[in-house]
Amino acid sequence: MYYIKSKFHKYPLRRDRFYGDDVDNLLEKNPRVKWLDEAIEIPSENEYTLLWNTCTALFCFVNNEELRIINLLKKGLFLRELTSSSKAVPGSSSCNQDLIKHLFLRTMVTLDGETFIPLDIYQEGPVFEDHYLIELLMSESCNLSCKYCFAEPNKNRPLMTREIASAAIDKAVQLPVSSFTLEFGGGETFLYFNRFATLVKEIREKADKAGKDVEIVVQTNGTLLHKHNMVKFLLENNIIIGFSLDGPPEINDMSRPYSRGTGSAKDILKSVKMMHHFGQKNIPFLAVVNCHNVDYPEQVVDYFNFLGSSKGMFLPTLKIGAAEAAWEKTGISNEEYFDFMKRMIEHSGYGKKLQCLMIKRMLENLINPTRDFRCMRSLCGAGQDYIVIDSRGDLFPCSHHVHRKELKMGNISDSTPLGQYFSKNPLLNELYETRRVKNISRCSRCTWRHMCEGGCSLDSYYHHGHMRGASTLCGYYQKMYPFLLQCLIQHPQIIIAYLEDEVDIISF
């Protein structure tokens, strides 16, 4: 048997509901060992079988001999019966005891009717740690016209005034936390670099005064960072930059043209060179997987490597904003997205040459008891600890859904504290009251329900018209999670490449 678990979360959180601390004592009492109905077997292409508990989302891999022992447990047996010579794995009875111990720790069996952790531990939603993300749409205009853009940039929208930005910063530093992330979203922020630089100084000053730690992030289309002073400023101020790029120039330019129709890659490469000049070689590129690059994952990986990067983020085109109207010309299916990601993983040597942040987050979900990536949990935090402020000072719960009037939570000029706006919006109240996988008929019995947690709530709301719909990426999740688990058997180097310092591999 072997399995992989988090080094840092010895047990699932909610320790008040945890009662399996002393397994060895339990085993001493010759308990009755019984296989759990919630545990399922998923055969693989080699000698190992995956055991998966659909309620606790814990797993382990067992070989055929161990599977034979496990089959004896379906009706229940006392431990000593199992370690007796007639039932034992040839060689050692203590081996059987170890097997039972670890099956218990992975919630595949009960000992005298007791489970290691309660099976309903995620029933009311996943366990996670809050982290505030405040997104400022300082500029809502853009120099590109990406075919799948969901931000709906608009030249007629004003640049965010200093007053609105200052009010947002003031409220952000008053949040009842010691640290938060402030992201500049868009539109393209660097169209107004001087305003951006002024705000960065203001954020740093106010955060220092309030004793708060602020991580500043900018996702840029990368066309404008050609000047020394710009990149120098970004580095001196510890700004985290992500560049959008869909692949080699000939591919990128089909999906990310300038408004006038010409390609953007040439200018993005000038910015990449400037970053390299300052020693920033490993730029994290964000590619939107769309109908132009979906057949070329190998070329995209090779190109990012060629530009010195071993980090990527591959997001599928979402059927919102400009992409909704142009879906036939830009969209991809879940199967196509899966195929792209699978080939990307294989071509990148299972994380050796390039790692994708989305895959990292899925591996973390497999290994950790927490669901720290907000877009794969039913209580995603949209509007609560994720707040988007547009250029007019209006507040929305998520950048994917700005300008939907029914999602507006208020204006920054209101006296409401930043973390309280969501409570005034009926749709968001409904989201937080009802959105659980147990309430979504398609998800409630799904094997992978505590991995994707039903996916994005607002996305599913806009596609199904209610909060009880499964994720629009469901088909992708249902293929990718089993694929990653198969990788853990056949290509275990993936977990070392992605999460080496965070995992313990238990094997005996």
List residues binding ligand SF4 (CB under 6 A).
Answer: 374-375, 380, 382, 386, 398, 400, 437, 442-443, 446, 448-449, 452, 454-459, 470-471, 474, 477-478
Closer CB to ligand SF4, 101 or 449, in the complex: 449
Residue with tokens 């990012």, as numbered in its chain: 304
Q: How far is the CB of 8 from ligand SF4 (least distance, A)?
A: 24
Q: Residue 457 Cβ, how far from ligand SF4 at the closest point, in Å? A: 6
Strands 179-184 and 240-244: unpaired
Name the minimum Å distance from CB 219 to ligand SF4: 14
- Nearest approach in angstroms of CB 379 to ligand SF4 is 9
CB 409 within 8 A of CB 397: yes
In whole angstroms, give the CA distance from residue 432 to residue 409: 14
Nearer to ligand SF4, 108 or 473 (CB): 473
CB of residue 440 vs ligand SF4: minimum separation in angstroms?
A: 6
Shorter beta-carbon distance to ligand SF4: residue 102 or 374: 374
> What is the distance between the alpha carbons of residues 235 and 148, in angstroms, rounded to a whole number?
30
Q: How far is the CB of 494 from ligand SF4 (least distance, A)?
A: 21
In angstroms, what is the minimal distance from the CB of 479 to ligand SF4?
9
C-alpha closest to that of 288 among 320, 260, 325: 320
Q: Quick check: 348 and 355 in contact, CB under 8 A?
A: yes
Look at residues 6, 20, 93 and name the one whose alpha carbon lies nearest to residue 57: 6
Return all residues near 257 (Cβ < 8 A) that are at least 6 apart: 144, 145, 146, 147, 263, 264
* Smaller CB separation from ligand SF4, 268 or 458: 458
Spatial neighbors of 303 by CB under 8 A, at least 6 apart, are 247, 248
Residue 500 tokens, joined: 């080496």
CB of 147 to ligand SF4, least distance (A): 20
CB closer to ligand SF4 out of 180 and 448: 448
Indicate the residue among 32 and 438 with the shorter CB distance to ligand SF4: 438
Closer to ligand SF4 at the Cβ: 247 or 381? 381
Strands 213-220 vs 240-244: parallel, antiparallel or unpaired: parallel
Least distance from C-beta 55 to ligand SF4, angstroms? 13
Nearer to ligand SF4, 424 or 438 (CB): 438
Which residues sit opposite 287 in a β-bridge? 314
* Residue with smaller CB distance to ligand SF4, 219 or 471: 471
User: Strands of 49-53's sheet, edge to edge?
Assistant: 39-43, 49-53, 59-62, 2-6, 503-507
- Cα 457 to Cα 437, 472, 481: the distances in Å are 11, 10, 19
Q: What is the DSSP string of 447-466?
A: TTHHHHTTS-HHHHHHHHSS
The 3-state DSSP class for residue 328 equals: helix
